[in-house]
Chain A
Amino acid sequence: AQKVTQAQTEISVVEKEDVTLDCVYETRDTTYYLFWYKQPPSGELVFLIRRNSFDEQNEISGRYSWNFQKSTSSFNFTITASQVVDSAVYFCALSEAYNTDKLIFGTGTRLQVFP
């Protein structure tokens, strides 16, 4: 069965600290896709990244970076030099190749960045 686990319910940091949000997934499919979405207080889910299971290269986009490790079924997200505007709930999600219509979300991690 497919499942996404975000064990960290809430994280608080002070501005400029680095922070890593953990995501562990379960799937029996060999081809799948992993996502991160940001949900600010306004409520709209904002797409951040999509990775397919064949691409284990780490990705960096500005202050954001992602570490994909198939050996541990993890897809962790790091924010470097956090800012107050990074405060939001972050969701990790999975879709499987045989059923790409459906995103399976974790329960989210609430990040609070204090000035």
Chain B
Amino acid sequence: GAGVSQTPSNKVTEKGKYVELRCDPISGHTALYWYRQSLGQGPEFLIYFQGTGAADDSGLPNDRFFAVRPEGSVSTLKIQRTERGDSAVYLCASSFDRGDTQYFGPGTRLTVL
């Protein structure tokens, strides 16, 4: 079946702008995760959803970052007042349930000029 999909694949924006990154998980997966991967580093956890609720947002770096999953499927990561340091690949993953193996999407490469 279809894997995790993410749109856009690339996003270039200017400092101070607002961006939205979308994730469509594997059908039937109740758990959804966002990670951020900087150049030469491993992915770092941002937030985890179980169903519609954010069960763990301890990885969000500051209040400019926010994520939603209103119907328990598609999720949107929102970044306000983008900064150059936000430039990274944003990865989304999903799993059948909490604690199950996470399957990753192709990522969105965000570049803030």
Which A residues lie at the B interface, using CB under 8 A? 4, 35, 37, 42-47, 50, 91, 93, 95, 99-108
Provided the pairs A91-B42, A107-B41, A107-B42 are in contact, do residues A102 and B104 lie with their beta carbons within 8 angstroms?
no
Assuming the contacts A102-B48, A102-B59, asked whether A50 and B42 have C-beta atoms less than 8 A apart, the reply is no
Stretch from B17-25, B63-71, B79-87, B94-102 at the A interface = B94-102
Q: How many A-B residue pairs have CB under 8 A?
A: 58
Known A-B contacts A93-B42, A107-B41; the reply to A101 vs B104 at CB < 8 A is no
Residues of the B chain whose Cβ atoms lie less than 8 Å from the Cβ of A103 = 33, 35, 43, 45, 102
Interface residues of chain B, those whose CB is within 8 Å of chain A, are 31, 33, 35, 40-45, 48, 55-56, 58-59, 89, 91, 93, 98-99, 101-107, 109
Given contacts A4-B42, A93-B42, A101-B55, 5 further A-B contacts (CB under 8 A): A44-B105, A45-B104, A91-B42, A106-B42, A108-B40
User: B43 is contacted by which of A42, A45, A46 (Cβ under 8 Å)?
Assistant: A45
